[in-house]
Structure 1
Amino acid sequence: MPPEARSSTITDAERLAIQVEAQEDLYFFSRYMFKRRKKFKWRHNWHHREICDALMRVFRGECKRLIINIPPRYSKTELAVVNFIAWALGQVPDSEFIHISYAAKLAINNSSNVLGLMQHEAYSDVFPGLAFSSDASAHWTTTAGGVMYATGAGGTITGFGAGKDREGFGGAIIIDDPHKADEARSDTVRNGVIEWFQNTLESRCNSPDTPIIVIMQRLHERDLAGWLEAGGNGETWEVLKLKAIQGDGSALWPAKHSIERLERMRTANSHTFAGQYQQQPSPGEGNTFRPDNIAIVDAIPAGTRMLRGWDFAASVPNAGSDPDWTVGGKLGVTPDGRFIIADIARMRGLPHEVEACLKNTADRDGKPVKISIPQDPGQAGKSQVAAFTRLLSGYSVSSSTESGDKITRAEPFAAQCNVGNVMMLRAPWNDELISEMRMFPNGTHDDQVDALSRAFHELHGGNTGLLDYLQQQTQATQQATSQAATQETNPWLNRP
């Protein structure tokens, strides 16, 4: 009988049975502790049993190198870090663990959660007698000699080791999401994590038999899990790959994501979904945008609010060269929350010609159209923004530095395009833009996508506040309706 079905009043025999089962089975232990701590049922699923079984094989010494690939928010940290470490220390109180995540803050928070679970009264019912000699969140110890140390990928671990140089389980290195999602496409950052694993973390094993567990969503075909699975460190790894959409077309965890919702997520962003949810990352070659889902229209809906985002280049074409373009993408948001690509200004020229294009385009758009320009790093970028802002005196101008790589910046806009929430005004520039979108990110140019992605960010999440705008529109409509109703019921208001 599962622990949540038991009465709060139990006999000594039942209490002993629960204790024995929780000590022997990580899955039962996890469900029991969740119910005792949270006071409600854990929405468990069959994949949780799969994870626990794999972790227990590690504990029994049947697996030394384990990779678990799983979608985000599918209980990976709760099971593979918090519950497994607590359960293993209950079995072997002098075990030594090193826990890693992409940020030290996350790893330390996980370590604190392990400590909190072990200090709960329910834990002492399962593993009585375990005590702590120190309880700092990042580094704590048991009186039996057990150690828990947590840090971020690339952090300092000098003086700490994992495992015991003896027979049987003595601890492990547990890595939970070594890559930050929006940095995984950077070769420099991603390879830095792999080099740190190879040059620093692996040397922290106190014994050749010390297990290493990597549990993560896949973010890139050459992320840490991909590198290890391909034999990057010369070892063979057992891989448990849990896909959000199973091979038979069913949902991995229907209570979390129905198959209908998963299909919508895949349609909106197939590239991200392939990695994070299906554990099959692809290079992203030309599948970010689906421009065939963009409707071509002949008029801009009334009440559309416009913003033009810019991507600058100061270059002219020479024989045999194909330099970048300066592009201003004009994007609008309609009163019902759809988006429309209204215009593309595109030119190549010297700096003074770029300035002239910027000013002339602003004059043509008029002052109701807001303007967003990128700010390059350093003092030179600040000076350029200041010069452009002076040039555009009288217009609403915002600026910001670019964060993340081009694909990451483009994905929110691409998601709207892919689900049919973006329209395009019929114009001669349509074909060039559609071609660039279709090839992005591997086409020769991506300047139009960059400019429109900037405009979308400002409209949707930037300084101009799409939600505030839509709220204002709703309030204005409600106010107009109320006024009309008042005038209809009170005709004397209309009298001169």
Structure 2
Amino acid sequence: MSTTSYNKSKQTVNLESFLKNFTDDVWNKTVNSLARTDYGFYVQHVHRGVYVPARHTDLICKKLEAVERGECTRLILCLPPRHSKSMTVSETFPSWFIGKNPHRRVIQVSYGDSLAQRFGRENKKKINEYGKEIFDIGIDRMNASNTNFGIEGYRGGMISAGVQSSVTGEGADLLVVDDPIKNRTEALSPAYKNRLWNEWQNTLLTRLHPGGAVIIILTRWSEDDLVGRLLEEEGEKWDVISLPAEAEDDDDLLGRKIGEPLWPERGYDEQWLTEKKKEVGSQTWASLYQQRPSPESGNIINRSWWKYYKAPPAQFEEIIQSWDCSFKDMSTSDYVVGTVWGRVGANRYLLDMVRDKMGIVATMQAIRNMTAKYPDAQTKLVEDKANGTAVIEMLKNEIAGIVPYSPKESKVARLQAVSPQMEAGNIWIPDPSIAPWVHDYVEEITAFPNGKHDDICDSTSMALLRFMQAQPLFIGRA
């Protein structure tokens, strides 16, 4: 090989090396720049492909960016279990917040010291591995425990502690409260709820620096848990991201359709929804998974009053339909609810239910369908208001037994009037194993009048009040 060709070859090798190094350098700078400015990208980057983003985590990441910018200072996040809330927030966000603001301090609390240690360790690990290249910071060697670490050359850092541990004397520019409730026993204990509320008011909140931000991450257990009390006391101060496992309303934060799962890509699909409802029961499903806890005992109707059947009686004295229709303009989130009831002596049996958002045409078809399914239901009660008035007028000559119902008492008074029947154990509803929809039925009535919906309550009270006027006439179901 001549000197000339060798030099050319050497020059070629050097050029290729230069281009490779140049490309790697540009790539690293681009990645670090994105991680520094885009929190959603940062979460994926520092978890090395383990983290799985989703629609709901993207929404949370954008809101956390607003927290870091100071645009949001009070944030509540309520999600079902195992939906990546801690990985997205508690295990990662403090490291990003400190990286962008190394002079600021974070206090993070959870129900116990072991969980707090995990959160602290995960954030410290991310700063150790990525702090230098992304934010040009590092852990202070003189202050480097998992539960209390500082940033070298700055005043910032992070403290992690159990909710009952002392953080007296420490201040926070960001306070993160994640899972301050360990289990159902604590969640439903009035004494523990009061202790947690006192801890919030007298200890945690006093640690917050002026202009500091608070993030509370909670799976709802009860109406008067920490989130419930905060929303009642000062709801206007808080930004709330509350995401049920199954979409229930048209104003869903993610734009989901009613019945659509929150994270089907991760296996929490429609089949999972159905199976989980049966597995955990109506109260747990409504609170932990749907973020709408109802009272433990009930406001008017106590959940312990319900009787469940797996097979209805063979004969009934009377079978009726009871329909509560939606408002005419459909601008509300109300449902059309139709229930079918059977009566035997003093006992009443809920046999079927239709509950959906329907216009007048769909409502009439639903009544036709239910009439064909239950031909022995001679009486079809239809509340004479909203779309019900038009339904009565258009179906009265087509379907026999359409009876207008015009209530004179309030919704509360009507349910109170029939509550003795439930307390006496005379109201039987289908077991969830044969009618999964009964979860919605129980939770709406238990939450009434403080729940979001009351259509099931209206349909129920209308039917039970009608039965109080009934005369014996046996009808077979064979």
- What range is the shorter-chain TM-score in? 0.5 to 0.7
How big is each residue's C-alpha offset from its partner over 1:167-223, in whole Å with a ceiling of 9 and x where there is no partner? xxxxx000001122221111111121011101111110122x111110111111100
How big is each residue's C-alpha offset from its partner over 1:115-163, in whole Å with a ceiling of 9 and x where there is no partner? 112212x443322343323211221111211121111122211111102
Q: Which residue of 1 aligns with 2:464?
A: none
Give the CA RMSD over aligned residues.
Answer: 2.7
How big is each residue's C-alpha offset from its partner over 1:95-130, in whole Å with a ceiling of 9 and x where there is no partner? 11110111122112211111112212x443322343
Structure-1 separation of matches of 2:121 and 2:432 = 41
Structure-1 separation of matches of 2:237 and 2:224 = 17
Contact kept? 2:66, 2:72, Cα under 8 Å:
yes
Match of 2:433 among 403, 412, 419: 419
1:100-115 counterparts in 2 under 5 A? 100-115=109-124
Q: Say if 2:189 is the partner of 1:173.
A: no
Q: Say if 2:140 is the partner of 1:138.
A: no
1:35-434 counterparts in 2 under 5 A? 35=48, 40-120=49-129, 122-133=130-141, 134-143=143-152, 144-163=154-173, 172-182=174-184, 183-207=186-210, 209-231=211-233, 236-247=237-248, 248=257, 249-254=259-264, 255-268=266-279, 269-284=281-296, 285=298, 286-287=302-303, 291-294=307-310, 418-419=432-433
State the Cα distance separating 1:288 from its structure 2 match. Answer: 6.8
How big is each residue's C-alpha offset from its partner over 1:282-319, in whole Å with a ceiling of 9 and x where there is no partner? 114344797535469xxxxxxxxxxxxxxxxxxxxxxx
- Cα distance change, pair 108–42 in 1 and its aligned pair in 2 (3 A): closer
How big is each residue's C-alpha offset from its partner over 1:413-442, in whole Å with a ceiling of 9 and x where there is no partner? xxxx7437xxxxxxxxxxxxxxxxxx99xx
Structure number with the higher strand fraction is: 2
Counterpart residue identity of residue 177, structure 1: D
Superposition TM-score, scaled by structure 2 size: 0.55
State the Cα distance separating 1:84 from its structure 2 match. Answer: 0.8
- Cα distance change, pair 80–18 in 1 and its aligned pair in 2 (3 A): same
Structure-2 separation of matches of 1:288 and 1:32 = 49
How big is each residue's C-alpha offset from its partner over 1:58-84, in whole Å with a ceiling of 9 and x where there is no partner? 111111111011111111111211211
Contact kept? 1:271, 1:288, Cα under 8 Å:
no
Q: Say if 2:39 is the partner of 1:26.
A: yes
Contact kept? 2:43, 2:51, Cα under 8 Å:
no
Counterpart residue identity of residue 34, structure 1: H
Counterpart residue identity of residue 185, structure 1: L
Structure-2 separation of matches of 1:129 and 1:63 = 25
Segments of 5+ residues of structure 2 without an aligned counterpart are 1-19, 249-256, 313-430, 435-444, 447-478
Secondary structure of 1:44's partner? Answer: coil
Contact kept? 2:220, 2:293, Cα under 8 Å:
yes
Structure-2 separation of matches of 1:57 and 1:19 = 20
- Cα distance change, pair 31–210 in 1 and its aligned pair in 2 (3 A): same
Contact kept? 1:270, 1:288, Cα under 8 Å:
no
Counterpart residue identity of residue 62, structure 1: E
Q: Which residue of 1 aligns with 2:471?
A: none
Structure-2 separation of matches of 1:123 and 1:148 = 14
Q: Which residue of 1 aligns with 2:385?
A: none
Counterpart residue identity of residue 244, structure 1: A
Counterpart residue identity of residue 243, structure 1: P
Counterpart residue identity of residue 22, structure 1: A
Counterpart residue identity of residue 242, structure 1: L
Structure-2 separation of matches of 1:33 and 1:47 = 19
Secondary structure of 1:132's partner? Answer: strand
Structure-1 separation of matches of 2:137 and 2:237 = 38
How big is each residue's C-alpha offset from its partner over 1:345-383, in whole Å with a ceiling of 9 and x where there is no partner? xxxxxxxxxxxxxxxxxxxxxxxxxxxxxxxxxxxxxxx
Structure-2 separation of matches of 1:30 and 1:123 = 13
Superposition TM-score, scaled by structure 1 size: 0.53
Structure-1 separation of matches of 2:104 and 2:304 = 46
- Cα distance change, pair 113–293 in 1 and its aligned pair in 2 (3 A): farther
Contact kept? 1:93, 1:130, Cα under 8 Å:
no
Contact kept? 1:162, 1:210, Cα under 8 Å:
yes
